[in-house]
A and B are shown apart, each in its own frame.
Chain A
Amino acid sequence: MHFTRRETLAMGAGAALLTVLPFRANAAVDDLIAEFTGGAELADAGVDLTAPEIAENGNTVPIEVSAPGATAIMVLAAGNPTPPVATFNFGHLAASQSASTRIRLAGTQDVIAVAQLADGSFARESKTVKVTIGGCGG
């Protein structure tokens, strides 16, 4: 196949545009967050997500979420075939709005926590967890 100089330039520009366009890397995750927040703004402060930097096995990855005063915290795994992980709804007798669990991650990816805070606003935090591929399966 032969390209003229103009065509080559055009393709280059097109490629450059694609890389800078804020395309939605994971529409499913964005939709799930929008559904949870009703499209509200997401603050950076207000929710803490603790997850290991490196998980030895993606089958059982310990995580902890905490958002003082929150009514609910949703956890998503952006790179899983189905991103939802869990939603914690805190009742009147929750002594703290925090919880730990163990989750499955299909590979290295971002884990996202979105909290609905006491004043009705929303906050988000994400952590990248590297899931290692073992040498000795089975």
Chain B
Amino acid sequence: MKFKAMTAIAGLLIAAGPMAFAGGADDDTLIINGEIEMISKTAAPAHLDGVFDEIVSGWHFRTDETQALETDDFDNPAMLFVDQAIDAYDVVEGEAGESCASCHEGVENFAGLSAAMPKVDADGKLVVMEDLINECRTERMQADEWKWSGNDMQSMVALISLQSRGMPMDVAIDGAAAPYWEQGKEMYYTRYGQLELSCANCHEQNYGNYIRADHLSQGQTNGFPTYRLKQAKLISKHNRFRGCIRDTRAETFAEGSDEFRALELYVASRGNGLSVETPAVRQ
């Protein structure tokens, strides 16, 4: 492994007792269903010059048993929820008498969309997948909004993102997206909370090291929503952002806040080039 500079966290870890540095990402290859070969390690995008040489999917930081859960669509428990979304896709809801399928026809028409999300919409506003789904629900279907991290919403985000599985992440960071991207980058390097930790402290300076018994990854979002064994359900990006910031003992931003949209764009751009892995399985 590359030995990185010790930060406050690494100092804490050492204070907690001797521990083995088990090293960074493993060298396994991520192939799904024995046929879809994923780009799970690749050269870092240009904007990360001087930060990373290589970007690495969180899959490489997990144990063999957790990794195996993602390599077969039947073993992957997230697919239970994808199945539920396949059913929901055809369900007519709301005053307008429409389902997702009424306008969009087959869900495969969404291929490529999530690889380019978040994006700036025609009104100049940064939108993420949950925004697109809720806009369809409220405006076109005249149905109720779905709760951001609710099972309905995250199952549908997973189903739509699955259509892009294997495609490289490619979010735009220039043009109209630039100010949002800058805002997200600023947040990424801001130390939050009583522990004064930024995203970068763990996921840039210490990936491959341990935080207690957790193996820190680069914090890539290319596999979200991800089935987390801890909660045994699909977890949204914003839920995870909130968890991280809360763990710094800070007041966190809300799921669906503009701050988290901007952070989502910036973090997604750090994974530009990695395959969309949705729905991933993590610890």
Chain A interface (Cβ < 8 Å from any Cβ of B): 52, 54-57, 59-62, 132-138
Contact = CB atoms under 8 A, between A and B. Distances in A.
A138 to B, nearest CB: 4
Contact of A56 (B62, B77, B212): B62
Interface residues of B, number: 22
Contacts of A52: 63-65
Contacts of B243: 136-138
14 contacts: A54-B63, A55-B63, A56-B62, A57-B229, A57-B230, A59-B229, A62-B65, A132-B213, A134-B212, A134-B213, A134-B230, A134-B283, A136-B247, A138-B247
Contacts of B212: 133-135
A56 B61 CA distance: 11
B214 A135 contact: yes
Contacts of A137: 230, 243, 247
Contacts of B214: 132, 134-136
B247 A56 contact: no
A117 B149 CA distance: 48
The binding surface of chain B is classed by DSSP as: mixed
A52 B214 CA distance: 16
Nearest to A133: B213
B132 interface: no
A56 B214 CA distance: 8
Looking at A52, A54, A138, which has the most chain B CB atoms within 10 Å of its CB? A138
A57 B283 contact: yes
Contacts of B213: 132-135
A60 B232 contact: yes
Given A55-B65, A57-B283, A136 B229 contact: no
Nearest to B228: A57
Contacts, number: 53
Given A134-B214, A136-B247, A59 B62 contact: no
Contacts of A132: 213-214
Contacts of A55: 63, 65
B267 to A, nearest CB: 15
A94 to B, nearest CB: 20
Nearest to B213: A132
Contacts of A61: 65
Interface in B151-178: none
Contact of A60 (B216, B229, B244, B247): B229
A77 B65 CA distance: 19
B223 to A, nearest CB: 15
B138 interface: no
Interface in B188-240: 210-214, 216, 229-230, 232
Interface string B67-108: 011000000010000000000000000000000000000000
Contacts of B246: 138
B183 interface: no
A97 B247 CA distance: 45
Residue among B62, B65, B212, B244 with max Cβ neighbours from chain A (10 Å): B65
A59 to B, nearest CB: 5
B66 interface: yes
With most chain A CB atoms within 10 A of its CB, the pick from B63, B64, B69, B243 is: B63
Contacts of B232: 59-60
A56 B66 CA distance: 8
Nearest to B230: A57
> Which 5 residue pairs across A and B have the least CB separation, nearest first?
A135-B211, A132-B213, A135-B214, A135-B212, A56-B283
Contacts of A138: 243, 246-247
Interface in B94-139: none
A74 to B, nearest CB: 22
Contacts of B63: 52, 54-56
A62 to B, nearest CB: 5
A125 B43 CA distance: 46
A126 B251 CA distance: 45
